[in-house]
Chain A
């Protein structure tokens, strides 16, 4: 590593982010940060605005306003592919595997040049992290199980050598064993130095991976603090998470 002054500024800063679907106002002004090397859980009920927040950060919403800065750069007006090339990796909730493409080809679509300061990935390294995928390199995305697709989606995004991952509900609809693998994968990625913003409804999953939690409800952040503080705050949990 080249000698660098430690950068204490957060990797991702979102300020007063608003977004609309058509004329429906979904995000009313979201503020959140993700520090370097930090795993932050974005928690909230169905329809609270978790997915919309991720999409808006990624530039995938038609209408949005507010500030998004990534690695010191204002990305709020950039198109998605430019944002991705800066090192923001997006793993969508509905997976969106390219079903007509093989596992190898899916990974190829995600491939971007290595980026200084972020772990760099090859198919070989990813096959070590996700041994299941190694066994089905030639299989089409459409012929994989949900859990396998979820692994592939994550691996595909990692091929872009991101420094921050936006992971949208990675545990949703997966078997407990796969959820376990997913949590391990996230911890492994954190150990590599990756920062992660993970949206979750599952409190125990979030507690297993995240350092900090931001709770969203009706398009606004209602709680922000260490994961431990959320676990201890019954009121917030009951009011916004219904657990």
Chain B
């Protein structure tokens, strides 16, 4: 309508409604699906490891490589804000590792992991490639240490594993429900410290189960090996 007198004669009003109904995460999720196809083409199952900083993700991976490295071809994509430290720890175990540095972002997203997967594929040596071109059995994607933001971003993983360590406290499932809701497995780590902290395994298990009734739960200490075999069995079953 005309700005001067309000008449309809100018015919310039072009106002219209458009129904979109598209997820804001659509671009990420689409890339996540493509990542999953890529992972499966490499012959692997992928796990997205999520926890707060210092819960023991890298330590769990080091011990996992010690236990399974001779029978499974493992690859690791490491997410951190800065440094190659985690990838260096994994490489020291003789396993292919790619370090993604987000430069500040608090989570990994599917496009970044896409780059990581290509780099990981390039690192696979010819000895580990089967006649069908399969290069890995198991790929771990270690997310940026953060119990909040990584939950929103699907990376193409087959399973999502949440770690909480004993020093952090048993109230974590109740305080970070979004993260637990999308998880397949909840691992309580550093159980060798239970005597020194006021951590109730019962409370953590119950709260997590209430948020996600189908969640599997494990308690372990990577350093003493207590409960560790359940984790290894779970991984073997996943890859089989």
Q: Do A and B come from one complex?
A: no
* B residues adjacent to A (C-beta < 8 A): none
* A residues adjacent to B (C-beta < 8 A): none
